[in-house]
Amino acid sequence: MVKITFNFEDKNIPTKVVKNVESGYSILEITEDFDIHLNHNCGGVCACSTCHIYVEKGDDFLEEISDKEEDFIDRAINPRLESRLACQCVILEDDAEIEITIPDQKQIIGHEH
């Protein structure tokens, strides 16, 4: 089963490890299911950049980045080479090990779950 480690730029939030997740779900869906704070304004349809994350490890276990996603990442706060949108990061394999860093959400105005 999939294992995802969530780190946070906001050091007041402790690292959270999620295990036994099935492939086929997006990182955004997993944050919703496991009560991990990640803003998202468009409802997960790749129409904004509020669910911006950094994939530190395991990007080969995720769907490839699309041109549309790249366009929205350019609008995110502090984009880096490992930037992705959580709504577009669908997990492809059940044995995936992924490490994510969630940017400081205080800088982002967006829907909180």
Mean residue pLDDT across the chain: 93
Q: Residue 113 above 50 pLDDT?
A: no
| Contact call for residues 53 and 37 (beta carbons, < 8 A) | no
Residue 16 C-beta-side C-alpha neighbours within 13 Å: 14
Domain ranges across the chain: 2-107
The one-letter code for the residue type at 74 is D
What is the C-alpha separation between 27 and 29, in angstroms, rounded?
5
The CATH architecture annotation of domain 2-107 reads Roll (3.10)
pTM assigned to the model:
0.92
Alpha-carbon distances, residue 105 vs 29, 79, 90, 94 (angstroms)? 17, 14, 22, 29
Determine the average pLDDT of the residues in 85-97: 97
Determine the average pLDDT of the residues in 64-72: 96
Q: Residue 106 above 90 pLDDT?
A: no
